[in-house]
Structure formats: structure tokens, C-alpha cells
Amino acid sequence: MNTNIRANQYSCCANPETICKEEFQFCKSKIKELKLPMRLIQVSSVKEENKLIFFFTAPERVDFRDLLKVLRYQYHGLRIELRQIGQRDAASLLGGAGICGRQLCCCAFLRTFYPITAKIAKKAGPTPNPAMYCGLCGRLRCCLRYEDTNPLEIYIGEEGEEEGEAEERN
């Protein structure tokens, strides 16, 4: 049985999201079969370019040439991209709720990930459980930065406005 998906079959699909779920499962099984030290996060399709993008995380650089060969054979006629992303990028792609119960900052409004230091975490106060400072990505929570400074300053910094302009609006 030949399960190759041709580009013309893919282009006429009404719902590319369902195809991406199938590709996710196929790629995940091949990663396990090839015993690659990587974790598949998401598969996105760019229909206009006949391209599939596979996002993954890994603790170090991964030689995924064998996986790429298998994917190119399986999805003949489509461009295949494998992109290694960081833990914070993975959390923003997957989404979820933070410790506060709201949508993750990286999903809702953060465009740039600023470094969060242990010094900032210490300013937040002592906690019986140090894991309370960690976000879903396993790194220090981005919101610790907001507790350290005036939140308006952070929004101003992201939008590129001057501090005086924001104060005039208030």
C-alpha cells in the first residue's frame, strides 16, 4: 500500500488542520522508530507554498537527515522544513494557562522573550516550593519580570513608545 501524499492531493484538501494531525502522528512514530533525541511540538502547513513545517525541541543539535528523507518520500511534492525551537517558543505554540489561571503571557501578548534572572525571582519573595517560579516551559516565569517592574513600562518597551507618550494618555 502506497501512502504517499502528492502535492496536488494536498492542495485540494478543504481542511489542512486535519492533515497536520496525521502528519504529526506519522512524524512522531518515525522519530521514535529512528530513536532521535527530539520532541515534536507542532506541524504547520503553508498551503500557498506547498510546504510543511515540523517544529521540535531537543536538548542539543540533532542529526535528522534520515528523518528528512523519510518525510520527503512520504510527502512527495511538498517542501519539508524541520525547525528546532526553544522551550519558551514551544510553550507559546502549545498554549495553556499559567499559575494565575490566565492565558500564558507568551501566547497572549509577549513578542520578545526577555531574560529572567534568579535575582528577579528572589525579589518576588520566599516560597516553600521553588517550582512555583517555573513556567510551563521549565524556565523562570515571564510574569516575574512584571512583578519586578511597573507593568506599564514593559508594555511601553514592547510597543516602542516613549514613556512620556504613555503618561499623556493616562
42, 27 Cβ separation under 8 angstroms: no
Determine the pLDDT at residue 66. Answer: 95
pLDDT in tens, 130-168: 677 777 777 777 777 766 665 555 445 544 444 444 444
41, 87 Cβ separation under 8 angstroms: no
- Of 118 and 56, the structure prediction assigns the larger pLDDT to 56
11, 23 Cβ separation under 8 angstroms: no
Minimum mean pLDDT range among 41-45, 102-106, 112-116, 124-128: 124-128
Determine the pLDDT at residue 24. Answer: 93
Q: Whose CA is closest to 30, among 20, 40, 21?
A: 40
Mean confidence (pLDDT) of the chain:
74
Mean pLDDT of 108-135: 71
Mean pLDDT of 19-29: 89
pLDDT of residue 38 exceeding 90, the answer is yes
41, 93 Cβ separation under 8 angstroms: yes
Mean pLDDT of 12-27: 67
Determine the pLDDT at residue 170. Answer: 37
pLDDT of residue 30 exceeding 80, the answer is yes
pLDDT in tens, 39-91: 999 998 887 888 899 999 999 999 999 999 999 999 988 999 999 998 877 87
Domains and CATH numbers, the chain: 7-85 (3.30.300), 98-169 (no CATH)
